[in-house]
Every structure is written in structure tokens, then in C-alpha cells.
Structure 1
């Protein structure tokens, strides 16, 4: 059954046979909720509670899957909804089982005082082209692991979408329980580094530096916590897998010392990565089928989704957060941009050397109307030289337009929210 959006729909029930799923696309402004009537079912690894209504966030593309059979009820308007028995869930849960066994071996090695390498759990990096289901697979692997009592670390390197904080950041956070269907990834304890753009090609050197900083911070945490080390990581990546994107992917595998590479949706990428790491026997490169339920998203949709992600950060998914404004004097703040350093003149260089701009150089920025609606990061840094190597707290201000209309006031207003 497929339903067209825009018209009222009566509540309807679907009886799902074992290992079937109901795929639903939610409208941007259409409220929709789901209820488990009988049996058991889950959304991306998180079980639906019995009999209780669960709201499905706007713009969501979800698959309600059952292992043993279920009856579910939908109430509200959807863009489309249909059932399917062609799912890769058995393959995905078998992958989880293998990762779970690795975690158990790592925990046992740590308890016996084994070598550090033996006590390292799976560091899984999920790769694939755009719209191959990487984020969804990450959610399932994380939720299944949390259901088993593990606390794996989720690392999001996809600056184009930003599933932990906002687009333009790379982040990591421990996952202590199955991911909430409505609220998504928890925001209580993330490590976040601000890149400031959804495209890594703008300054790939800074992107690499930030990945290195994040990886080193996580390694320090793991060295003092054997349980976190055994639980390992699930790393989400961007969908750019050719040219520079492929180089950044290889850099991510090396930087985070990934020992499992899951490749979705492209055999060519699987073969390239398998050849690239063949000299490293401790890395397994595994090809997985992508779900046929993955929805293709055009650039316009992605841009809108980025805007919604930023709005959700400040206001909450259900508009239950209340951002507040603060007026800050120009003299009390300093704004910097990374990667805008000028090239040194040829006369100042050794003979034969070419002038090269420093992609990680810090440059002070004058506060102007160009900053209106710009999102800025506030890092844990006491000195400017520390900015690029410091993570940011959960306060990211946005410069307000109506205050910068008269710069002679020598102050700016920012709106900020702390989750």
C-alpha cells in the first residue's frame, strides 16, 4: 500500500510477517505517529514500546522491521508507506554478532592483563557513496550493542549532515542505550570539533587536523577505560568517495586505526579499499548490501535538511528548547578564521621554493555585516593558537541580523542554546 501526502488519512494497521518491514516517508510538516499493537518491532535497532504511541519526526524516512511478526498502526499523514520483504537485516545483525564477539574477546584480554592491542574492541568505519544507508547502519549497530550492555563510541565525520550536533562539525559521543526514535543521538557528552563548512574540499588540511585531534582525544579516554576500549567505535563517514574524498577516507581509516571497514552499496569502492589496506592484515574490509528502502536525496533536499538540523539544535525537534539572546561588546570577543593565511612573498623564500598559503593558519576577522546569520563556535581555548586543537562546548552562537544593522553600537547579539 502506498499513500500520497497532502490528504487526510485515517488510522490504519499493517500486519507484518516475520522479517518484513514497513517503510514510511514522513512529510516536512505532517505529524505522524506509530503504535505497536501486537508482536515486536523496531526502528533502526530500537524496539517500539508495546501499545504506546511514538511520534515520528518530520522529514523522517523510517523502516519498521519485525523479526518474529507484528501488527503496527499508523496515525497521521505520510508521503509514502509500503511493506517489503527484501531487507538486508539478517546480514546486518550477523555483522553485529561478529562485532559483539570481538568486544567480548577484548574485554577478556583486558581482564587477563593482555597486550593493549588485544584489548581493543572493534573500530568500525562505515563507508559508501551518498544515500547508501551509512547513518542508518551506524544507528542499528550502536543500538544493538547498547542493548547488549556495551557503551560504544559513535564518531560522526559527515560534516555535510551532522547527526550529533550540527553540520560543519565532527563529533563523538558514547552511546549508553538504544538510540531514541524521536530525539536521536544523545547530546549529553559529545566531543565536538568545528570545521565550519559542509564541504571538506574547502580546506581538507584542516579536516585532517580535526580528525587527528578527535582521534587522539578518544585514544586518551580509551587508555584509561578498558570497557570503552573494548566496546570500540562505530564511525560514520561522508558520501564523497572519489578523488579527494577517497583520500580523506583513507586518512580517516588510518587516523582512527579502524580495524573493520564496512562498505555499503559500491563494489568498486570495496575493491579499492581492500587493495589499499592489503598490507595491513589487522584490517577487515567487508562488503554489505544496501537496503532497497534507502531514499535518494537531491542537493536541494540536503541543503534544506542542513538548515533544519541547525534549527533543531537551537529549538529542539519538538520546539521544546528556548534559545536566548545575549549582547556582547566587540571589545569582549575575538573572531578568527582558520585557513585564510596570506602567501609569503617569493623574495622571502629560499631559491626555487614556491609560496604556499598555510591552510591551518589563524587569521583575525573584523566583525561586520558579513557575519549576519553566521554560526560561530566557542572553543575551550585560552589562547588563539589553541583554537584548532580544542573541542567546543554545546554552545554555538548565531549572529543576529537586527543588531548588526548599526555597527556603530560596537556590540553584537548572539542566540545560543545549551542542550
Structure 2
């Protein structure tokens, strides 16, 4: 039906264990409001009577007992689904919750003991199998149990915590806000590419760096250790992608692997990890019917949206970025790696590859940097860039080689937190 002002309003009455699935295009105002009963979106409970903007999102409003929900605006897709994997997901959460409770008791009686380590969960599966959704559910349900799990995002192709091209982690201390996302400050390592295959050596190095930071953090705080981690991964599960999946599972010492949708992936991981990680549980979970396949163009659009959200804020939570022009001499831009390194077997006998995937290369200001998303490193000296996380990101808008200036967009006005910038292949066309 039509509401006052001409906007479209639709009210859905859901029975127990049903969910309302919505796909809301960017640029069109869409909001949801819980009228009666109780409902949640990916584990975040809706407040009755509060309108929540959801433009640009794909989401599912689920109810355990039944509810009535009003949708204002015109989603491109909206329908009620009877069959969902939520009961299976909840059973998985309960198993993890029992492990957290056990770890908390062990940590209280013997701080620092291995028994005080809660579940380190990794979710693997092909592209668009619902990995990010499950991670969000598991984090939110853990928060509602009184824990603050660490959410780790290794999906460099999309980026959930910050811009794509990053390996990042953040403590989830309250249910994830449907508009603003996670409010805590993350720790971020910049990889700079949308595929882990672009520079697998660098990707593995950053996996090790992030895993080490989180291990030290858990060792220093029993409550952090007991809460454990929930790790989101990329959707490349064949060939080199599969080898990188195995690498990160072992680097983070994951004791629970949740394989989404694919029987072959589940069976292969069980076989390959049996000897190396005999205590790791490898479970197969169903894909939600709300997880839809996205074409390449749509995935590129999603990456663009993540970059836009970083600088300008998500719909409903706008930010005021700053455009500034600085002297090129006040900045130093570096690229990690100098192109793909050929395997030694492909070279003449006795020859070795000179291309180093971890080589730090200084780049002079040039027009090739236009629209590049660059990370601002915390490193005090260039030789520390590979070892340090990053403070944030800038977008290069202009390079004037004649005047020796660079114009860039930053999330806020003021001096940059560092002069060393890291660039990769990540570009954005946002204004």
C-alpha cells in the first residue's frame, strides 16, 4: 500500500522460523521497521517501532517466534522464505558457546593456559556461499552471550571491516549496527590487491603478521582468549586459492572449520588437515537461500561501494571527508613487489628470478597514481613498512608533476598520521 507522501509501504506478517529477504538498491530510500513480535537481522535484534535505513544492502529479517515488519520504499527484491538454515547455524553457535564457557572457566583458574583459548572459527566456501553472513551471525550471537569475539576478515576481494585489499581484525563488543557496522577501531594490514593470487607471498606474510598480533593479544587477556575468533575468507577454493586457505587455517591455528555449501571442499579439507591438525573440527553447513550469485560487474560495484563508504560514510551515516593538496616531497609512495616472480623451474639452468614479491619499490609521483587507494603506514622508516599495520587510507585525485603537488581525499581534515603511502592495484572511480 502507499503511505503519505507517495512512498510505498508493505507490511509482512511472518510466522515462527520464517525470514523476509530483501535486496535494496543504492540510491533509493528503503527502511524496515519492526511493528510487532521479535526479529533479528544477521543476529542483530531489531528494536520495535524504530525505522532502520537499509539502502544498498541485501539482508534477511528472521524471527524465531513470529513478527510483523513494515518495509518503506521499493526494494528490488522482497519475499518471505519458509526454509532457512538458521536452526543449523544456531546449533553451531551453541557448540561454540559451550567451548567459550569452558575456556573462560579454564582461563580463570589458570590464566594463560591453552585450555583458556576459546574457539578459533574459520568459514570457508566458494564465492557468494554466505560466508560473511554466517560470520556476522556468529559474532552477534556471541556478543549476546556476553563475549567479545574478534572478527577477522581475510576476504581481500570485498572487505567487510574496511576497504577491500586488506587483512583486518576488530573486536566485536556489541551487536553490529545495521547502518554503521562495527564501531571499534580495527587493526589493518594493507595487501593492496583484490585477489590473494596477485601476490601470494605477500598475502601469506600478512596472514602471519595478523595471526601473530592476535595470538599476543589473546595471551595477554584471558577474556579475549576465551571469546576466540571468527574468520571470514575469500571465495577462491581451487588450486592456489585452496592452498592459501589451508595456509591461513594453520597460521591462525583454527580449531573449527565451517565449510559452506561444497561437499568436495569439506571432504578435501578433512583429508588434508587430518595429520597436521587432528583436533580441528571440520563441519559442512548449508548455504542460505538468500545468498545469491553475483556477477563480476556486481562484485566490482560492491568493492566501489566499500571504498565510498570508507570516505563518505554508509547510507544513513554520512561522513565529511577532506580534500587536500600536499607537497609531493612530504609523501613517499611505495609498492610491495615488482611483478610476478617466475618459478625457478621455468628459467634457464643456473638462473634465478630477480623479481621479489616482497621487494619495496619507491615510486615517483606520476599520473599513473590517479584514483589509487593508498594506505597510510604507521612505519617510522621505510624498512618497517612490511612489519607495520596501517592507520587509514587516502584516494589520489590529482598529481601535478610541474608544481610538485599531490591532491588527495582523506576521511578527515588534518595532517596525515604518516608520510609513507603503500600502493597496489586497488583503484576507485568515486568523485
The ranges of structure 1 where at least 4 consecutive aligned residues each deviate by more than 3 angstroms after the TM superposition are 341-344
Q: Which residue of 1 aligns with 2:403?
A: 409
Q: Which residue of 2 aligns with 1:248?
A: 244
Q: Which residue of 2 aligns with 1:71?
A: 68
Q: 1:91, CA displacement in angstroms?
A: 0.5
Could you tell me which of 95, 98, 106 is aligned with 2:92?
95
Task: Assess if the C-alpha contact under 8 Å between 2:16 and 2:64 holds in 1.
Answer: yes
Q: Which residue of 2 aligns with 1:267?
A: 263
* Deviation digits for residues 242-291 of structure 1 (CA, Å, limit 9, x no counterpart): 00100110011011110000000100000000101112221000000011
Q: 1:57, CA displacement in angstroms?
A: 2.8
TM-score (norm 1): 0.93
Task: Return 335-344 or 277-286, whichever deviates more.
Answer: 335-344
Q: Which residue of 2 aligns with 1:316?
A: 313
Structure 1: which 5+ residue stretches go unaligned? none
Task: Assess if the C-alpha contact under 8 Å between 1:109 and 1:115 holds in 2.
Answer: no
Which whole-Å CA distance do the structure 2 matches of 1:143 and 1:105 have between them? 19
Q: Which residue of 2 aligns with 1:385?
A: 383
Could you tell me which of 127, 145, 154 is aligned with 2:151?
154
TM-score (norm 2): 0.90
Task: Assess if the C-alpha contact under 8 Å between 1:61 and 1:295 holds in 2.
Answer: no
Which whole-Å CA distance do the structure 2 matches of 1:366 and 1:114 have between them? 51
Q: 1:202, CA displacement in angstroms?
A: 1.2
Q: Which residue of 1 aligns with 2:199?
A: 203
Secondary structure at the counterpart of residue 407 of structure 2:
strand
Structure 2: which 5+ residue stretches go unaligned? 414-431
* Deviation digits for residues 341-360 of structure 1 (CA, Å, limit 9, x no counterpart): 7989x9xxxx8352342110
Alignment coverage as a number of residue pairs: 404
Structure 2 counterparts to residues 351-362 of structure 1, below 5 A: 352-362=350-360
Secondary structure at the counterpart of residue 99 of structure 2:
helix
Q: Which residue of 2 aligns with 1:23?
A: 21
Could you tell me which of 30, 40, 47 is aligned with 1:42?
40
Provide closer, same or farther for how the CA distance between residues 66 and 343 of structure 1 changes in structure 2, counting only shifts above 3 A.
closer
Which whole-Å CA distance do the structure 2 matches of 1:167 and 1:386 have between them? 22
Secondary structure at the counterpart of residue 178 of structure 1:
coil
Q: 1:168, CA displacement in angstroms?
A: 0.7
Task: Assess if the C-alpha contact under 8 Å between 1:172 and 1:190 holds in 2.
Answer: yes
Which whole-Å CA distance do the structure 1 matches of 2:274 and 2:112 have between them? 24
Provide closer, same or farther for how the CA distance between residues 29 and 356 of structure 1 changes in structure 2, counting only shifts above 3 A.
same
Task: Return 157-166 or 112-121, whichever deviates more.
Answer: 112-121
Task: Assess if the C-alpha contact under 8 Å between 2:112 and 2:222 holds in 1.
Answer: no
Which whole-Å CA distance do the structure 1 matches of 2:313 and 2:208 have between them? 30
Is it true that 1:215 corresponds to 2:211 in the alignment? yes
* Deviation digits for residues 87-127 of structure 1 (CA, Å, limit 9, x no counterpart): 00000011111001000111111111166221110000000
What RMSD in Å do the two structures reach over aligned CA positions?
2.1
Task: Assess if the C-alpha contact under 8 Å between 2:142 and 2:149 holds in 1.
Answer: yes
